[in-house]
């Protein structure tokens, strides 16, 4: 089992920045991919960004490209999401996710470990 704990959410004005962290513990040696999804009220959970644990390759949703950056610290088993130029439409609960399988990286169903989520609210 892998446990994921997010931190770093909060309230910020439009144009501001936040950095989310996700610390992984437990049986992390098999982790293939880690990343972030988000879910706004009344909407489905959507892909934001992921990073391949070994290769370090990254993938982003079109809506966040150029504004968000995902990175990892292998020694700390931690993934970060730096969010700049935040917009009100970025408001959501952000979930950290991890998987030890190879699959459709854009689909929540491909991830077998989830954090409890952290709220990000961007005011206009």
Q: Contact, 78 vs 66, CB < 8 A?
A: no
Question: Which residues on neighbouring strands pair with residue 99, listed in sequence order?
Answer: 33
As to burial, measured by CB atoms within 10 angstroms (0-12 exposed, 13-18 middle, 19+ buried), residue 105 is middle
Instruction: Render each residue's pLDDT in the chain as its tens digit; 124 residues.
Output: 899 999 999 999 999 999 999 999 988 777 789 999 999 999 999 999 999 988 889 999 999 999 999 999 988 999 999 999 999 999 999 999 999 887 888 999 999 999 999 999 999 9
Q: Contact, 50 vs 59, CB < 8 A?
A: yes
Give every CB contact of residue 63 below 8 A, 6+ residues apart in sequence.
89
What pLDDT, on a 0 to 100 scale, did the predictor assign at position 53?
A: 86
Q: Which of 53, 19, 18 is nearest to 35 (CA)?
A: 53
Give every CB contact of residue 87 below 8 A, 6+ residues apart in sequence.
14, 122
Q: What is the 3-state secondary structure (H, E, C) of 40-52?
A: CCCCCCEEEEEEE
Cα–Cα distances in Å, from 89 out to 13, 42, 49? 12, 13, 16
């Amino acid at each position: 089992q892998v446990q994921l704990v997010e931190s770093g959410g909060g309230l910020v004005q439009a144009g501001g920045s936040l950095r989310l962290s996700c610390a992984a513990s437990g049986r992390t040696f098999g982790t293939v991919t880690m990343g972030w999804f988000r879910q706004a009220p009344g909407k489905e959970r959507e892909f934001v960004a992921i990073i391949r644990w070994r290769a370090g390759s990254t993938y982003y949703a079109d809506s966040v490209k150029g504004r968000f950056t995902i990175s990892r610290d292998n020694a700390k088993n931690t993934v970060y999401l730096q969010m700049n130029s935040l917009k009100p439409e970025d408001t959501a609960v952000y979930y950290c996710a991890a998987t030890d399988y190879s699959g459709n990286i854009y689909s929540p169903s491909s991830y077998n470990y989830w954090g409890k989520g952290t709220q990000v609210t961007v005011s206009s």
